[in-house]
Amino acid sequence: MTTFQTSSSNSEIEALVASNLEFVRGRIADCGRDVDSVAIVAVTKTFDAYAIKAAAACGIHTVGENYVNELVAKRQELQEMALAWQFLGHIQTNKISKILKHADVVAGVSRVVELESFAQREATNSLYLQVDFTDSAGRNGATVEQIPELAAVARSLALRVDGLMTVAPVDPLEARKAFGSLVDLADRLQLPVRSMGMSGDFEEACRMGATEIRLGQALFGARNP
């Protein structure tokens, strides 16, 4: 994997992203998966708009942002491009209107109050429910036991839930268990999207059945401070 620097030219950045993407796709294939069966979300927090342009030039047209301000600014700057935008961060009540306006997919949904707020605003966005397998205080996500209730509430409110997502535990064995549990839960709830796996664990996620992986450093290298 190669990393671009802030001093790199646009052509250099595009070439480096293309090289990194080729590497990623090779690893997906090594996991026994058809590379076209695993969608890639380019997570571009702290990277500027040209990183997104470089990813799009390489065939990645879904962008994930963790911060509302970055989501709004980059979507406005790149409004002429045919991109799909995901919001991946913690959902703050006072920013829900902005999130719904600028994100096509709202991932990380984990509370009934969020669903109620979406319904009040007649949201039509695609939603992913976030599952937390760590039991860590302050970690975003609902427990496995809470997810079916959240899905039922969402459906009762006529909201569109398309999948589940998770940030897996760091331990590889625990991550594998988490990925398997998420796939089983998505199957039970008949949700097609399994958004799991990031730059450090996307291979295991692919082996376990991910339909979508979220990559930042694997595509762009070390993040800008």
In terms of CATH, what superfamily is 10-220?
Answer: Alanine racemase (3.20.20.10)
Task: Indicate whether 8 pLDDT > 70.
Answer: no
Q: List, in order, residues 6 or more apart from 133 with CB less than 8 Å away.
A: 141, 144, 166, 168, 169, 174, 177, 178, 181, 182
Question: What was the pLDDT predicted at 225?
Answer: 62
The H helix count followed by the E strand count for the chain is: 9, 8
What are 122's two structure tokens?
């007649």
| pLDDT per residue as tens digits for the range 127-147 | 999 999 987 766 789 999 999
Domain ranges of the chain: 10-220
How buried is residue 157: exposed, middle or buried, by Cβ count under 10 Å (0-12/13-18/19+)?
middle
**What's the pLDDT score for residue 96?**
97
Amino acid at 84: A
The answer on pLDDT for 7 being more than 60 is no
Question: Percentage of the chain with pLDDT > 70?
Answer: 94
Cβ contact 35:206 at 8 Å: no
Residues contacting residue 200 through CB under 8 Å, at least 6 positions apart? none
Taking only the tens place, the pLDDT of each residue in 71-121 is 999 999 999 999 999 999 999 999 999 999 999 999 999 999 999 999 999
